[in-house]
Structure 1
Amino acid sequence: MSLTFFLPPLEQINSEIARQAGVELYVLRLDLMHPWVNGNKWFKLKYNLLEAKEKKFTTLLTFGGAYSNHIYATAAAGNLFGFRTIGLIRGEERLPLNPTLNFAVQQGMHLVYLNREMYRQRNTPALQEYLRQRFGEVFIIPEGGNNLNGVHGCTEIIDHAMPTVVTERSRSAGYAYTFNSICVACGTATTLAGIALSLHDKQRAIAFPVLKNGAFLTQEIESLLTNYLASGLPSPYTSPASWQLVCDYHFGGYAKVNDDLLLFSQQFREQHGVPLDYVYTAKMFYGVIDLLKQGFFCKGDCLLLVHTGGLQGNVGMEERLQRFSKI
């Protein structure tokens, strides 16, 4: 199994707000790893693909919404690695297909639409048995790659920010400086769990849920961490680093945006040359900048913001926003 990736750049963000807060700001550009299978999506898929290949499966089946980055990446990865793919999409079919689903079909993915009641049962043994009866021997990947294979892959993300960055402040002081806080957007919490497992005890992971009332993810994160450590899968440390959820920047819920977020994304790209996706990274970046203004971080901190990709979803989101603006 091979796939050519570009080394994701690590870029410093020269922000006046960060300077005033006495904080150094870096972004890990996972969005630039590959044109289709990039961001945290590759890390969550990697070990699922390896297991499927080792167990001789020929078909992958997974779940997602109509604008799902996971559906997009799974369709592309399946095509690249020679798997048939089936995507179970939440809700009814809408034609013409949006850019995300159209791309998935072009990559050979067979789309099947589930009503919302059935979709809520996607992780139950009963529905998964029904799916196997309907589609045959398929390798099922949970929505968003949210399983221990996904966590395993995400323990490798921070390796791409190493060797340790020597910042301007640490260079003048004569020592190597590691990141105090690693910030990431949070959907299923798989990425946060993997990152927390890969940090040492003087670092912390900060996640920004993109879902409304995201505090419910606490139990899911604790379960992922406990199960991973009990599984015997590789882990750099015997316990996770400290982590926390910042739940105030969901902008109304999953895939919800407003003018403030759109303006922030546009200005951030113009000022720093970093495009943000509206569903995930824009909300996290907005939250970090707002917290810097509030003095949330300590002077001398060095923050790493993980860009988790998903930029292809902006096209469909912008089309949807334009339709709503005309109503």
Structure 2
Amino acid sequence: MMAVVTTGTGGYDTLRIDRVPVPRPAAGEVLLRVLAAGVNNTEINTRLGWYSASVTTGTQGAADAGADLREDGGWNAATPFPLIQGTDCCGEIVAVGQGVDAARIGSRVLVRACMRPHGFDAPDTLWLGSDFDGAFAQFCTVPATEAFAVTCDWSDAELATIPCAYGTAENMIQRAGIAAGNRVLIAGASGGVGSAAVQLVKRRGAQVIAVASPAKHDVVRSIGADHLIDRDADPVAALGQESIDVVIDTVGGAGFGARLDVLRRRGTYVSSGAIAGPLVTLDLRTMYLKDLTLIGCTGWDAPVFPSLVSYIETDEIRPLLDRTYPLDRIVEAQRDFQAKRHVGKIVLIPPA
């Protein structure tokens, strides 16, 4: 089969289009024909070794660093290179391993990218495309329990926009306890996770204040944002001190402190990323004098993915698909992703 094999940390030259054996499903697994695979920051970050503590810049800065990249920069320490990346997978079950009902063959499924191998009471995570081979290929194998059948009229590419971005956003929203009437500030609202959060927060009846570049305001407003502010604006000047109940942040960087300043007393800050930079300045007085709650989110809780599937099937959310590329044009797709001119998701389509 055709696959994109990432050979190690580094630039685009580490992405090799190769012919590799089709994997065979082990007991308890299913073999998927990959129908579509979304592009995420995490694949670029892993290729760059950005998760290493030795990398202190944002994703773009890490890309420019070149020789300073580190092999220990995976989600769970060292990445098992060579690796087929691809965290978002929409696929069709074409074979099953021992112990899996053969009646599942033919089902179109979404894969829960964040797996909890020791159960949801344990903190361990296992990520498709980061800890084992993922969806940047014509076929992949996953545990049968992580493949969720979805009944809807969405295209394969539209379904592939969901797993990582919407799972991450829904997990943050559930952890933060966002409810009707809350005022929620979403940083990076035009990206995959941010645009998902806009829809998922609105679904709960909360008010969305979205941060995005002016060129993207109309699109972000069309998916539910109540108020838009420029990503370069001072949120305190735009919104006022203590005006927000919850901040959802995947950006980090220099704007971190101002995002805490706009939180009300006993407000909540929740983060799942730091594309503008992982090192921030925290004034502990702001945190403790305002009784703030700061939540880091990576591992998805049990209700997250079943909830997303139900939202799709009841037409409560819609995909935000920017464009698609053939799988063998992954370098072009990742370059365009890094340019940040898109809104929503970029998706790769493997050959049939």
Q: Which TM-score band applies after superposition, normalised by the shorter structure?
A: 0.3 to 0.5
Q: Hey, which of these two has a bigger chunk of helix by percent?
A: 1
Q: Hey, which of these two has a bigger chunk of strand by percent?
A: 2
Tell me the TM-score normalised to structure 2 length: 0.32
Tell me the TM-score normalised to structure 1 length: 0.34
